[in-house]
Amino acid sequence: MKILILSARLPFPHDTGAKIRAFQLMKALVSRHQVTLLSFYGDRREEEYFPVFAKMGVRLATVYRERINRATGIKEVLAGLSSGMPFTVTKYQDHRMMAALTELLPDHDVVHCEHMHMAQYLLPGHEKITVLDAHNVEAQIAERLVPLETNPVKRALLSWNSGAMSRFEQRVSSNFDLVLAVSQQDCDCYRKRYGVANARVMENGVDLDFFHKASPDVVEQVKLVFVGLMGWMPNSDGVKYFVNEILGKIRQEFPDVSFDIVGKDPPEDVLALSATPGVRVTGTVDDVRPYVWDAQVYVVPLRFGGGTRLKILEAFAMHKPVVSTSLGCEGIECRQGSELLIADTPSEFADAVIRLLRDPTLRTDLGNRAARLVEEHYGWLSLGEKLLLYYDEVLDESSRGCSVFNKEEM
């Protein structure tokens, strides 16, 4: 089969969870099928990564769009308000992408769409098999952001956008023969909220060879760590919440505890956190593992977002004890007190971290059980096989002339 993957970003380098997922699933597909990747990119320096795809046997087609790497701004807001489209969808509107897709489409059997934002290009009327890797329920993320915004104008815009995203998501998801959700919760949401009968769970995973337990010579410090793309609002909100409302409570018991915020594109208000004693904002690093290995506790203080966090799976694979909000670990089959500690208020979160800092045996036990969980259920190799089975099912349905899902007009 010839598969055309439509992507909002080049899935390389692996500096975001979305890129990691897209790359690993593409790697599984190219092991059995012919794959073309059609992707936006927003920085000319990314052209040095083009040979990566040729080396793995993927044909690459690209559209350069500088605004892709910028935060959603007033231009996208105005375009959304005038068209009724979600702000983040208007950000990816480009006639050149439509032209490139139209040119490539006749030579392919399947179109695999990465992210809901790119689904706007799959207009009805073609006979191709279509697969959507949704990554998140985007409307759910938008809805969760609204109550956290204190500015009334911004809050009104966010509320309008969440409604627009819900309508858009429901409309376009009905055009796909297979919808992949990262968790059972997201899958249920697509089925019950949007009536998508053929939504299937395709979990996030972790590279078990790369993310592993620290070597014996690594000495842990009285340190906490968070890893994530700082340009993504749930992450930047989470670290600000942690420093402003939780860290001080921990320092009442452990005055010398430090906190590393690791990840690319920290905005100004996150960079400003480095003025807090003991807080380090690293920005982009070549390898996140050393920052995690020498920390005693990995924190995930997220207050909104969606999908599942690869950051937790990576911490689990490195045998690190994790404290997370309920939302932060949503969609992962982990249990409170078994593979991690869950806390949803500043006091509860601080108490959970303090408990781990005091108890090295508990840290070890949580870390070991978490590592067993990812080894059994979240390795990319086994997940790639699962994706190929899903493809076999939808291709079989197509060859027999029946569709699991009736395409409707957008």
Exposed / middle / buried, residue 235 (Cβ in 10 Å: 0-12, 13-18, 19+):
buried
Asked if residue 330 belongs to a domain, the reply is: yes
Kindly state whether residues 142 and 263 are assigned to the same domain: no
Average pLDDT on 356-364 reads 97
Q: What is the CATH number of the domain that holds 51?
A: 3.40.50.2000
Average pLDDT on 181-196 reads 93
Which of residues 361 and 328 earns the better pLDDT score?
Answer: 361
Asked if residue 357 belongs to a domain, the reply is: yes
Residues 42-77 have pLDDT tens digits of 999 999 999 999 999 999 999 999 878 887 889 999
Q: For residue 227, what is the enclosing H or E element?
A: strand 221-227
Kindly state whether residues 239 and 187 are assigned to the same domain: no
Can you tell me the distance from the alpha carbon of 36 to that of 42, in angstroms, rounded to the nearest whole number? Answer: 19
Can you tell me the distance from the alpha carbon of 263 to that of 324, in angstroms, rounded to the nearest whole number? Answer: 18
Angle, CA 228 vertex, CA 226 and CA 232 arms, to 5°: 130
Average pLDDT on 205-234 reads 93
Query: Looking at residue 402, what is its pLDDT?
Result: 54
24-38, 58-72, 89-103: least confidently modelled range? 58-72
DSSP 237-265: HHHHHHHHHTHHHHHTT-TT-EEEEE-S-
Query: Looking at residue 409, what is its pLDDT?
Result: 36
Kindly state whether residues 91 and 154 are assigned to the same domain: yes
Kindly state whether residues 9 and 150 are assigned to the same domain: yes
Asked if residue 404 belongs to a domain, the reply is: no
Kindly state whether residues 371 and 383 are assigned to the same domain: no
Query: Looking at residue 306, what is its pLDDT?
Result: 65
405 pLDDT tier (thresholds 50, 70, 90): very low
Answer yes or no: is pLDDT of 235 > 80. yes
Exposed / middle / buried, residue 277 (Cβ in 10 Å: 0-12, 13-18, 19+):
exposed
Q: Tokens 């409309």 map to which residue? A: 171
The length of the chain is: 410
Query: Looking at residue 73, what is its pLDDT?
Result: 85
Query: Looking at residue 80, what is its pLDDT?
Result: 93
Three-state DSSP class for residue 4: strand
Exposed / middle / buried, residue 265 (Cβ in 10 Å: 0-12, 13-18, 19+):
middle
Number of independent structural domains in the chain: 2
CA proximity to 111, closest of 121, 71, 25: 121
Query: Looking at residue 407, what is its pLDDT?
Result: 42
Residues 133-150 have pLDDT tens digits of 999 899 988 898 899 888
Asked if residue 334 belongs to a domain, the reply is: yes
410 pLDDT tier (thresholds 50, 70, 90): very low
Bridging pattern class, strands 110-114 and 341-342: unpaired
* Percent residues over pLDDT 90 in the chain: 81
Domain housing 113 = 2-205+379-399
401 pLDDT tier (thresholds 50, 70, 90): low
Average pLDDT on 87-112 reads 95
Query: Looking at residue 307, what is its pLDDT?
Result: 57
Kindly state whether residues 225 and 90 are assigned to the same domain: no
Asked if residue 106 belongs to a domain, the reply is: yes
What does each C-alpha distance from 395 to 62, 152, 217, 343, 384 come to in angstroms?
A: 27, 49, 50, 44, 17
Query: Looking at residue 406, what is its pLDDT?
Result: 42
Average pLDDT on 358-377 reads 96
55-69, 168-182, 287-301, 305-319: least confidently modelled range? 305-319
Average pLDDT on 364-374 reads 97
Asked if residue 408 belongs to a domain, the reply is: no
CA proximity to 404, closest of 164, 70, 97, 176: 176
Can you tell me the distance from the alpha carbon of 175 to that of 390, in angstroms, rounded to the nearest whole number? Answer: 17
Answer yes or no: is pLDDT of 296 > 50. yes
Asked if residue 17 belongs to a domain, the reply is: yes
Kindly state whether residues 115 and 100 are assigned to the same domain: yes
Kindly state whether residues 18 and 115 are assigned to the same domain: yes
347 pLDDT tier (thresholds 50, 70, 90): very high
Check: CB of residue 374 under 8 Å from CB of residue 317: yes
Query: Looking at residue 199, what is its pLDDT?
Result: 95
Answer yes or no: is pLDDT of 108 > 50. yes
Kindly state whether residues 384 and 323 are assigned to the same domain: no
Number of helical H runs and strand E runs in the chain = 16, 13
Average pLDDT, the chain: 92
Kindly state whether residues 355 and 384 are assigned to the same domain: no
Asked if residue 215 belongs to a domain, the reply is: no
Answer yes or no: is pLDDT of 217 > 80. yes
45-49, 98-102, 173-177: least confidently modelled range? 173-177
Answer yes or no: is pLDDT of 353 > 90. yes
1-15, 342-356, 391-405: least confidently modelled range? 391-405
Can you tell me the distance from the alpha carbon of 410 to that of 405, in angstroms, rounded to the nearest whole number? Answer: 14
Kindly state whether residues 230 and 369 are assigned to the same domain: yes
Q: ω before 13 within 30° of 0 (cis)?
A: yes
Kindly state whether residues 385 and 373 are assigned to the same domain: no
Average pLDDT on 145-162 reads 92
